[in-house]
Every structure is written in C-alpha cells, then in structure tokens.
Structure 1
C-alpha cells in the first residue's frame, strides 16, 4: 500500500466472548452482559476511492481484570460506598491506563508504520486518514492529529462539546446551519436494521472546539463538522443521524460527500470482525492464555485476506488472479481443475474465488448462489494444506 496518496485507517473494537467455558477463565476477563473473553482492537487499511480493503495495519488484544467478589454480608449502603470508590479510582486513572487510550495508541502505531517513508520536506508519501466511530471521539486524538504531518481524522462525535462560536455547543450550532445538499447512502444490514437506501440532509461548517481542562494548553481544536440526518424515514425504522468531525477541509459538496463516503467505509471493519468470528470461528477454539493469542494472530491474517478477496470479487471480478493468489496457489488450483475445464479457464479474481470455494464445498451447479464466507474459509484452509503438500 506504500505509494498510495491516501490510505484510510479504519479503527474499531470487538469482543470475543467465550461465556462460561472453563478453559477460558484464566487470562480472560469480563466483556459485559455476563460475558467472559478477550477484547480486540483493529486498524484496517482501506482504499479511499472504493473502500477496497488493503490489509491489517495494527491490532491489540487484551482482557479486563475480574472484579473481586463483594464482601459477605454487604449492606446496600456499603455497596454504594464501594461502587462510588471504584468509580472514583477509575476516573482518576492515568489516561494511558484506560481502555480509551487504545484509540490514541492505534493512531500512533499506524503513523509509525508510514514514518519510514519521509520525503525531503518532512512530508509522507502516503497521507493516513484515521476513521473512528463514537468511541474514538477523544480530545487526545485531535491533539495528536495536529502534531502529526500528513495525517487526518474523521470521527463520529459522541459528545456535545462546547464551542468558542457564540458560547454555543456542537449539536445546537451545527444543526442550526442551512442544509447544503441531499444525498442518498446505502445502509448495510445489521442486527438492528434491514438493508436500505437512506436519504440524508447534509449540513457542514467549521467549528472551534474548546479543549477539556486536562488539555487546556493545547488550545482550541479547529475542525469541520458535518451533520447528516435522514429524511423520509420508512415506517418502523430508526432515522440515521451522524455528526462527523474531521480535520479535512469541508467547504464544498464534493468535499462533504467524500468525508461522508469515507465514514461509510467504516463498515468494512465490522465485516472483518464478523468474518473473524462467524467465518473463522474465533470464539469456538478451546485454548487458553498465550495459545489463544497465537491462534488469533493466525486467524486475523486469514480474515483480513478473505475480506480483501471478497471485495475484489465484488468490485473487480475480471482482474488478474495474481491480486489474490501466489504462483504456488494458482498452480495448486489449476492442478485440481478437471482437464476439460482447463482450456476455458481465465485466470481472474472470479475464477480464483470460485476455485477456492469449490475446495470448501461450494456446489458448482449453484452458480447463481452467493459464495458464503464459511465456504471461503474452509476452501482457504484446504488450499493452504494442499500448498504445503505441493512444496
């Protein structure tokens, strides 16, 4: 990906929940709602034009500590005092010790990857734009971005921050601006909604955000705010409302559309985590401690490759198979192809994906059926096994 003018570094966190499996008690921790497992934060590289996944940039795996059991015979008054003390301790922890620090850490680690490609004037060959959801709305992210050349950020706002403009607040100020244009956005299916096309009213303007007290010396953060709200919402659907903050220039419809498009590409990382858990079955392995970390290191690379292959198949099915396969992998797939079919083969991405899917159990007579991620996962494992034997 070096040499690409702009790379989107999309970040997100997922929870690997192993519930009450006994093997998962040591070196694992609570994940909320009674879950027990690990927390994985990922930074995924995307092409800015089409959202094509390019590969993993950085990942961090950790677990929370189990809280001690409450003392026997604890009264409700004692419980309130204990919880209040725990909240105070958590609030006063150093920022680097908090889970939210992962967003700053991801920012730093990803920038370090590209630091070796400095130009004589101090700029970078590749400009990195970090795209975060609401959890990444942290003042330290904006402070760090301002100190790093050739980096930018697009964050969905989670806080109604105080602005220097007329002593107002973010939501009130931006929503009072005039609608600049209307744009349709395709919303993918999630657990809470079906796939649909949303019609959004777009407002944007520059804002100057007052820093929190802990960063008073940093001065105000001068960024652009883009507010997208859905109109003509279908019955029974929750309207889309996005408040985006970005370090990038937003003064025209084209620039605003680009920021909006970059934010929608954030869904790619949710697909990656879905592949990791549903396709690669990362939550099914009965390993503990360091063994699970090693296994995840293996699975995450495969999940990222499967995501990349899936999008290449969607966007560029007639491109060369060399984009997704090594020479050995192509030789193995060609060797496994019936002789009568070899004359008709065109070494494209579409051929590669279908050949891998066949190894995973995909039925050739169901060509109109979409190739599922689990079929690709099984086919990829079989291909790797065959390649080992080929060597």
Structure 2
C-alpha cells in the first residue's frame, strides 16, 4: 500500500505477476492512465484512447460511504464525511515511452475506485482515486479498500516513530541477527505509544493503569502536583489525564485549539517519564521482607 508516489507501472506489473503468491498492490492513483484498446471481436473499437479517470467519471455511483478522516499535518480533523463511491475494472495499457524504449508489453488488469465528496466547500472536497491489482466487483469491496487505505496514516505514523523516535536507522549493528531483537523492542515502544494515544481518544475516562504501571502513575502525579500526594478522596488518574500530562512533558502546550498530543510528542514525554519514575522509586523505596 502506498500514496501517489507508489503509482508506478513497474510495481503494478510485478504485483500482477506475483498474484498467485498472494501479492497485491493498493495505491493512490496519480496518473490518468490510458486504457488498453479491446481486442477485435470483444467490444467496439473506440475512436480515441480511453482514459482511466474519464471512464470512471462516466459511471453512476454504486453507493455512498461515511468515512472518519484523520487530521492532516497543520490542519484540523474534519471528522465524518459522506463520499459517493464508484468503481470500474480496467485494463491499463503499457505507457508509450516504456513500450518504445524499454520494449515492455504487459498490460495490467486492475480496479479503480473513486470516493468523492459531493457538494463540498470549494477547494475542500475529498476525492480519493485508489488503484489496485485486486478485483473489486461490489460496493462492499470498494468500501473495504477505502478502509484499508485510510489506515495508511497510522502505518506512516508507526514508521515515523521508529525512525525519528526510536532512531532505528542509526543503529550501529551490522548483523541482521543482532538487529532483529532491537527492532522488536523498538516496535513494541512504537505500538505502545500509538495504542495509548488511540485509547486516550476513545476511552479517556479509563484508568491510567491500563497503559502505565502504578509507579509511573504515582511518579507522574507527584511531578504534576509538585510533590504533593493526590487527595485520598480524589478519583485515580484517568488515561486522558495521563496522556495530557505526558504530552506536556514532551512539549505539548495543551491549549484549547492544540488538539491531542501527537505520537512524537508522547515519545519524548514517555522518555522523560522514565527518568521521573526512576527518581520517584529511589525516593519512595518499597519495603522488602525476608
């Protein structure tokens, strides 16, 4: 799965060639590709070369779908939008320059899916054109692809945490067998951050101990309250409260329009919380017996 930069003819060909091994490609369509002309006897020949997007625009919507759009960088989340859904099975012709100079001759059997926001404010309408080597023959199948593509932002965020937070690319290990255990630990850290962030949005009133151990919660409370203990009758710290405080440790200002702290901010905040928790443990040693 990829964004517009992955709309590459050679990738489509490779995915088609390895279809029997379970390989498939789903990308955001960047090019209005030319369709292959039908063979004589199959359909009437078209006078002009047909274009993929134009063919799709001529079809009637198969239905509609409501989608929760994530927040883009520098923009507020738009929430739920209703999109009309179209899909077509197409045969993509070999690009002319690749046929001429590289002697390529493989056409690609693909599906094109369009999700368009109708009657949207000028310049703000959503239009996704998704190109896939999978066969899409129903509204449900088209919606499923849209759901997969909507998770691309989560996948990108996961890898961004690995690269900029855990800094996996800076590891000095040269042997794969030594790198693998460290990668597993880094992936656990990234998964924890993303899971905790999502849970705080969906269930902010759940206990902070669902994602933090008791020492971390106690240390966070002591730091936030400048060493003062939480009142006996006060409810325990919620997950939403904990994430806001961890976000502040990471530099999130927490103003009304700032939204939730991002994954990178939480990574920085959790690193600081680790140090705070270690100090708290040394100042509050647990009694030992035996």
Interval containing the TM-score (normalised by the shorter chain): 0.5 to 0.7
Q: Which residue of 1 aligns with 2:246?
A: 356
For residues 342-386 of structure 1, what are the alpha-carbon distances to aligned partners after superposition, in whole Å with 9 as ceiling and x for unaligned? Answer: 98437x74465356347568899x999955347635531221223
CA contact 2:158–2:191 (8 Å) conserved in 1: yes
The residue number in structure 2 matching 1:169 is 51
Cα distance change on mapping 1:359 and 1:187 into 2, 3 Å: closer
For the residues of structure 2 that align with 1:291 and 1:154, how far apart are their CA atoms?
26
Q: Which residues in structure 2 correspond to 1:37-48 (within 5 Å)?
A: none
Q: Are the aligned partners of 2:220 and 2:276 in contact in 1 as well (CA < 8 Å)?
A: no
1:203 pairs with one of 86, 97, 106: 86
Question: 2:113 corresponds to which residue?
Answer: 226
Equivalences for residues 293-304 of structure 1 within 5 A = 293=170
Cα deviation digits, residues 319-345 of structure 1 (max 9, x gap): 6767644xxx54232355435359843
How far apart are residue 137 of structure 1 and its match?
0.5
**1:194–1:333 distance in 2 versus 1, CA, 3 Å:** closer
What TM-score do the two structures reach when normalised by structure 2?
0.62
Who is 1:385 aligned against? Answer: 275
Matching residue of 1:143: 13
Q: Taking structure 1 as reference, are residues 139 and 305 closer, same or farther at Cα in structure 2, changes over 3 Å only?
A: farther
Which runs of 5 or more structure 1 residues have no equivalent in the other structure?
A: 1-130, 283-289
Q: Secondary structure at the match of 1:239?
A: coil
Higher helix proportion (structure 1 or 2): 2
Pick closer, same or farther for the CA change 1:175–1:371 going to 2, 3 Å. closer
Contact 1:334 1:342 in 2 (8 A): no
| C-alpha distance in 1 between matches for 2:252 and 2:29 | 43
The aligned counterpart of 2:177 is none
Counterparts in 2 of 1:303-342, with a 5 A limit? 305-317=192-204, 324-325=211-212, 329-337=213-221, 338=229, 340=231
Counterpart position of 1:257:
143
Alignment CA distance shift 1:309-1:140 (3 Å): farther
Aligned to 1:268: 154
Deviates more, 1:200-209 or 1:145-154: 145-154
- Equivalent residues of 2:219, 2:277 under 8 A apart: no
Q: Which secondary structure state, in structure 1, belongs to the residue aligned with residue 104 of structure 2?
A: helix
After alignment, is 314-323 or 178-187 more displaced?
314-323
Once residues 230 and 259 of structure 1 are traced to their aligned partners in structure 2, the CA distance between those partners, rounded to angstroms, is 17
Q: Which runs of 5+ in 2 are unaligned?
A: 39-48, 173-181, 222-228, 283-290
Give yes or no for contact 1:356–1:376 (8 Å, CA) kept in 2.
yes
Partner of 1:49: none
Change (3 A) 1:357 1:137: closer
Number of corresponding residues: 243
Structure 1 vs Structure 2 CA RMSD:
4.5
- Structure with the higher strand share, 1 or 2: 1
Match of 1:122 in 2: none
1:340 is paired with a residue of what secondary structure? coil
Distance 1:210 1:375 in 2: 46
CA pair 155-385 structure 1, distance change in 2 beyond 3 A: same
The separation in 1 between residues aligned to 2:146 and 2:252, in whole angstroms, is 37
Judged with a 3 Å threshold, the aligned counterparts in structure 2 of structure 1 residues 292 and 143 are, in CA distance, closer, same or farther, namely: closer
**Separation in structure 2 between the aligned mates of residue 342 and residue 367 of structure 1, nearest angstrom:** 28
Q: Displacement, 1:177?
A: 1.8
Cα shift at 1:159: 1.6
